[in-house]
Chains A and B, each alone.
Chain A
């Protein structure tokens, strides 16, 4: 038969202690389950909503209008030489992906309690599936972004080839934070009260409504310890060709994102053994 790869031929079940291996190979062996979980999330997400999939575009779009009025018009926040609405929307597309991915992932384990207590599979698939499902909304927000750029006469330069890197960076950050929060949420339900706060603070700590060029150059590398700084500036640079030079910031952000992801994954695996007992 063909399912030898799902479960090894011999298996030893015994107590584990401390930090344990990630066993990513096992997650890969369960890729079909991952696919079905993503598919279920997508199928169910917009059930019983009037606007349905349109929400994927409306969220960043409405925020863009608010920002454009208050920051762009009234506060006259600079926007690196591109029209403020495009400037803000370009940042809001990856931001919305990050913020929803983070929020959904942090609730994902508690929301799957009925699965966790009834059947075995690598638990990493749960938050992973949630963040992956967010990529679809993310993709749906793109056509409007291109429309806005076209209307404002902006054509991306050759640097647009780097865009997938920034998408990966946003993905890694959302998953990394999501892993930390989902595992903590199992034991401490405070997390669900913390998350809205966290995303709000994080929004202002990221150059979405304003350009990072407002900061003195020497502080920017430090600022980029927030991985979303690199993502947002990367998006603007790749798509709009903004003049802020993102190189060092992206480098720092990438390191920070990797640190979040790796630490999150190990922390998650460490906490995993008590999920079914506590959730």
Chain B
């Protein structure tokens, strides 16, 4: 704990969050990635005012975080729990000053350090030693501070022998151990941690949790987001449960964890579409939407990882006669760019309904190799190029979480799609030709971690 936090500021809470809200705008504004699109939308806007129906509509908004208030005392270790899309990450990003809130405020006392990712700022072409300094500086450490802790960092990561090797030759286990070790030696007054502990092998995870425990016992204030109820209960003195952007429970970790487990058994992410913005003739309406991440055997799971499976089920009510309609879903990225389409017509099927009838239509998307991030699910029903019966541009969100085994690969690079791939590197010199793979420098234990599942 910093000695420069004087007694007077210790009287106020370490963190005071008041009426915090974050609104995201979807659709029109967010999708203008080129000036041409921005201009086209302007022109369309004029067209719309003359009564033409336009596919691109006014920006749609949703609150990722809605009127959240809480205080955290100095030395508290607070767990933040919630399902995907509940606003946990948004809260951490605002606390870390990465994004700005839309409403409300946060008052913080002391230096804030945030760990939202393992290996922020690591550069593959630099050596382990160079990356320790670079990553440390990016996380807010001073050069002298890094230098004085350097040996400790390297020892904790167990990479002494390879510290002057470029990290692109590290196994993923070594890479993550070094990256975590830099972060673990950050000594802020307030530490904001996303679920970055689930890295490396079991032994290293245990070591990381131990380190977190030490941090907590040293009187530092910690905010800790996790799906790991065990870790929350053992490390935290208090926990917050978020749901749909709202703070629903603020209590001791056991109580909150129990409530969270109870919510998981309920159908995941059901969205009532009564208040959504619909387009189309209205002869039928989408009433409800479930987005359920699934295991291979079809049972529901709590989170979706790249390459996972998701069931998107919708309920439709007909108010008139529907003949041979195509029903489909679309997945957009957070900026509204269209990524995935699935509809009944693609598989030669059409839906016919009489007034008063109800239909349930489910799409099971398998091997969804979207990168971790927030995606939007849109619904459409109609006859292509003939009529729109009902459509909701953004009906629900789909959160794809980083695969704990592949944190390094999934988070480092932008883009939407994660392809299965293999690679080989052949380095040849006049005398010999050697096959080098990234894990060839690793010890056997590391190779096991790096191996594809």
Contact = CB atoms under 8 A, between A and B. Distances in A.
Contacts of B5: 9
A67 to B, nearest CB: 33
Given A32-B142, A43-B126, A120 B34 contact: no
Nearest to A36: B137
Nearest to A191: B35
B30 A278 contact: yes
A147 B72 CA distance: 65
Contacts of A121: 138, 140
Interface string A1-27: 111101101111111100000000000
B388 interface: no
Interface in A34-92: 35-36, 39-40, 43-44, 47
B408 to A, nearest CB: 12
Contacts of A114: 120, 411-414
A154 interface: no
Interface string A112-130: 0111111111000000000
Contact of B109 (A2, A10, A117, A278): A10
Contacts of B117: 118
B453 interface: no
Contacts of B102: 15
B4 A11 contact: no
From B2, B3, B93, B99, residue with most partner A Cβ within 10 Å: B99
Contacts of B2: 1, 3-4
Given A13-B106, A40-B134, A6 B142 contact: yes
B96 interface: yes
Nearest to B137: A36
A187 B33 contact: yes
A194 to B, nearest CB: 9
A44 B134 CA distance: 13
A119 B114 contact: yes
A9 to B, nearest CB: 6
B161 interface: no
Contact-residue bracket for chain A: 35 or more
Given A44-B123, A187-B33, A119 B134 contact: no
Contacts of A278: 30, 335
B148 to A, nearest CB: 11
A271 interface: no
B109 A9 contact: yes
A137 to B, nearest CB: 18
Contacts of B109: 9-11
Interface string A255-279: 0000000000000000001001110
Contact of B107 (A10, A117, A190): A10
A2 to B, nearest CB: 7
A189 B112 contact: no
B38 A188 contact: yes
B41 to A, nearest CB: 13
Interface in B1-54: 2-6, 9, 24, 30, 32-36, 38
Interface in B92-108: 93-108
B34 A190 contact: yes
Contacts of B32: 187-188
Contact of A6 (B103, B140, B414): B140
Contacts of A40: 123, 126, 134
A273 B98 CA distance: 9
B125 A44 contact: yes
Interface string B327-357: 0000000010000000000000000000000
B358 interface: no
B130 interface: yes
A145 interface: no
Given A4-B2, A47-B125, A113-B414, A13 B101 contact: yes
A148 interface: no
A181 B105 CA distance: 31
A61 to B, nearest CB: 27
A187 B106 CA distance: 27
A223 B35 CA distance: 29
B110 interface: yes
A273 B96 contact: no
A7 B111 contact: yes
Interface in B132-148: 133-134, 137-145
B126 to A, nearest CB: 6
A2 B142 contact: yes
A225 interface: no
A190 B36 contact: yes
A195 to B, nearest CB: 14
Contacts of A273: 100
Contact of B106 (A2, A4, A12, A276): A12
Nearest to B112: A7
Given A13-B97, A115-B121, A36 B33 contact: no
16 contacts: A3-B142, A7-B111, A10-B109, A13-B106, A15-B101, A15-B103, A33-B140, A40-B126, A43-B125, A114-B412, A118-B116, A119-B96, A119-B98, A119-B140, A190-B34, A278-B335
3 closest A-B pairs (Cβ-Cβ)?
Answer: A120-B97, A14-B105, A13-B106
Given A119-B114, A190-B34, 17 more contacts: A9-B5, A9-B109, A12-B105, A12-B106, A13-B94, A15-B100, A15-B103, A43-B126, A116-B98, A120-B97, A120-B114, A188-B32, A188-B34, A188-B35, A188-B38, A276-B93, A277-B24
